Amino acid sequence: MLSRSPLRAALMLGLVAASLPAAAATRLELQAGRSYMDTHGTNAAFVEAVFEPQPLGHTRFTWSPDVSLGWIDGRDVARYDHSPYTTRSTVALAAGGVRFHRGDAGDWYQPLFFSTQVAAISHTTQALTSHYQFVSTLGWQAKHFSVAIRHISNGGLNGPNRGETMVLLGLAFSI
């Protein structure tokens, strides 16, 4: 069951996404991969919507609203079983932020991106010790494919702050 704070954040993200123009080109990515806390791996999956890019002033950068729903499976690390934060809980998350690109459509580096998001999570774990998290992603996207390295942590604001670091492969669709 989601606590009130992550549920409110998920509702707010839904309202923000619903308020964006319906005619805007939206990229939907289905991402899956392996997430690591220290050397302990588990499975992770995300659904991410990236909306139409907008110019960032008079620069060669663009930004796009970026929202995602994610799932990180629990893991069995016995040494943390009696800790205030265990590793066994599966974590659901809702996040929202921006994705940045640099360059024009023909530039070789334009498919590279960096995104930053703020997330609310359903359960605290040894890796994610607060219900609010920061998500940073560095990746590359083609028309129907993406690969990314993502790190999720609370920035040292609470607890052990081990974080989750993952490699994700994605399939992308325009809707």
Counting Cα atoms < 13 Å in the Cβ hemisphere of 53 gives 18
Please write the tens of the pLDDT for every residue from 52-96: 999 999 999 999 999 999 999 999 999 988 888 899 999 999 999
132, 110 in Cβ contact below 8 A? no
Please answer whether residues 72 and 87 qualify as being in contact, where contact means their C-beta atoms are separated by less than 8 angstroms: no
Q: CATH for 4-19+26-174, among 2.40.160.20, 3.30.200.20, 1.10.630.10, 3.40.50.300?
A: 2.40.160.20
The whole-angstrom separation of Cα 87 and Cα 81 is 7
* CA atoms of 96 and 119, how far apart (whole Å): 7
Neighbours of 158 (CB within 10 A): 14
Token pair recorded at residue 34: 């392996």
Q: What is the token pair recorded at 22?
A: 């319906």
What is the separation of C-alpha 34 from the centre of its chain, rounded to a whole number of angstroms?
13
**Domain boundaries defined on the chain:** 4-19+26-174
The model's pTM is 0.85
Residue 54, classed as helix, strand or coil, is strand
CB environment 12-34: b (16+ within 10 A), e (fewer): ebeeeeeeeeeeeebbebebebe
pLDDT in tens, 23-47: 458 999 999 999 999 999 999 999 9
